[in-house]
Amino acid sequence: PGLATSTPPAARPCVAAHSTTRALFSAYTGSLYQVKRGSDGATTNIAPLSAGGVANAAAQDSFCASTTCLITTIFDQTGRGNHLTQAPPGGFNGPDVNGFDNLAAADGAPVTLNGQKAYGVFISPGTGYRNDATNGIATGDAAQGMYAVLDGTHFNGGCCFDYGNAETSAHDTGNGHMEAIYFGDSVTWGTGSGSGPWIMADLENGLFSGVTTGNNPADQTITSRFVTAVVKGEPGTWAIRGGNAASGSLSTFYSGARPDVAGYNPMHKEGAIILGIGGDNSVGAQGTFYEGVMTSGYPSDATENSVQSNVIAAKYATTSLTSGPAISVGSAVSFRATTACCTTRFIAHTGTTVNTQVVNSTSTSALKLSASWTVVTGLGNSACVSFESRDTPGSYIRHFDFELLVNANDGTKQFQEDATFCPQAGLNGQGNSIRAWGYPTRYFRHFNNVCYVASNGGVDTFDATALFNDDVSWVVSSAFA
Ligand code: AHR
Ligand code: AHR
Residue 185 has a pLDDT of 98
Give yes or no for residue 138 having a pLDDT over 70.
yes
For the chain, report the end-to-end CA distance as a whole number of angstroms. Answer: 54
Cβ neighbors of 83 (< 8 A, separation 6 or more) are 73, 74, 75, 76, 131
The finding on whether 462 has its CB within 6 A of some atom of ligand 2 is: no
Residue 58 has a pLDDT of 98
Q: Out of 178, 182, 183, give the residue to mutate to test ligand 1, the one with the largest number of ligand atoms within 8 Å of its CB.
A: 178
DSSP string, 279-309: TT------EEEEEEEEEES---HHHHHHHHH
Residue 11 has a pLDDT of 41
Percentage of residues of the chain with pLDDT beyond 90: 97
pLDDT digits (tens, 9 = 90+) for 417-462: 999 999 999 999 999 999 999 999 999 999 999 999 999 999 999 9
Give yes or no for residue 137 having a pLDDT over 50.
yes
The predicted model scores a pTM of: 0.96
**Contact status, residue 102 vs residue 124, Cβ threshold 8 Å:** yes
Residue 12 has a pLDDT of 46
Whole-number Å distance between alpha carbons of 327 and 422: 10
- Residue from 348, 374, 351 nearest 360 by CA: 348
Residue 2 has a pLDDT of 42
**Averaged over 203-213, what is the pLDDT?**
98
The finding on whether 206 has its CB within 6 A of some atom of ligand 1 is: yes
**Distances, alpha carbon 222 to alpha carbons 17, 64, 126, 193, 416, in Å:** 24, 34, 24, 10, 20
pLDDT digits (tens, 9 = 90+) for 96-136: 999 999 999 999 999 999 999 999 999 999 999 999 999 99
- Catalogue the active-site residues: 204, 280
pLDDT digits (tens, 9 = 90+) for 334-390: 999 999 999 999 999 999 999 999 999 999 999 999 999 999 999 999 999 999 999
Reported confidence tier of residue 5, pLDDT bands at 50, 70, 90? very low
Ligand 2, atom nearest to 399 Cα: 1
Measured in angstroms, how far is the CA atom of residue 203 from the centroid of ligand 1? 8
**Amino acid letter for position 183:** F
Give yes or no for residue 4 having a pLDDT over 90.
no
Reported confidence tier of residue 7, pLDDT bands at 50, 70, 90? very low
Give yes or no for residue 223 having a pLDDT over 50.
yes
Reported confidence tier of residue 10, pLDDT bands at 50, 70, 90? very low
ipTM: 0.85
Give yes or no for residue 466 having a pLDDT over 80.
yes
The finding on whether 159 has its CB within 6 A of some atom of ligand 1 is: yes
Which listed ligand is nearest to 102 at the C-alpha? 2
The finding on whether 402 has its CB within 6 A of some atom of ligand 2 is: yes
Reported confidence tier of residue 6, pLDDT bands at 50, 70, 90? very low
Q: Which residue has the higher pLDDT, 40 or 5?
A: 40
